[in-house]
Amino acid sequence: MNIRRRITLAAIIFLTIALDQGTKLIARRTLMNEFPRHYASALTLLYTENPGAFLSLGSNLPVNVRHLVFDGLVSIGLLVAAFALFTGRMGLGGDAVAIAFIIGGGAGNLIDRFRFGGLVTDFIYLAAGPLHTGVFNIADMAITGGVIAIAILWAVSAMRKRR
């Protein structure tokens, strides 16, 4: 992998972390102890602290198990992914970019966990008719977008191989 590609992937990771942490800082300063703010009937901004993973998955686990999984295993997973990404052990296509977004999002949420006693700041809620999300943040968007991109890229690759 050439240096330009590594710099681009590192920039994606660090910009994702910066955007995530910046928006969480703004949310903590402007939304904490405030009523939810509704915009355009679909977007609501509200401050929450999430002890679980995306959409509060695992929030009911015992504290020591949450720390093991969300702090320990996630840290190891992010380090392995970063090692694979920057040592050229994965392809140079879109999957590398998707992994960079996943690493950036995972690191953004991990920073919160270490700073705030295992809690992640969430502040975005979407509702359109009968469709509703849980409360999430920019890191969650990066992780989800990366996972969806990888799934699409792998599906397209599998379909091409079948031809």
From the candidates 20, 95, 112, 140, which is the catalytic residue?
140
Residue 100 and residue 11 in contact, taking contact as beta carbons nearer than 8 Å: no
Cβ neighbours of residue 74 under 8 Å, at least 6 residues apart? 106, 109, 110
From the candidates 20, 71, 95, 122, which is the catalytic residue?
122
122 is catalytic: yes
111 CB-side CA count, 13 A: 17
112 is catalytic: no
CB count in 10 Å sphere of residue 16: 26
- Phi, psi of 53, rounded to the nearest 5 degrees: -90, -160
Catalytic residues: 122, 140
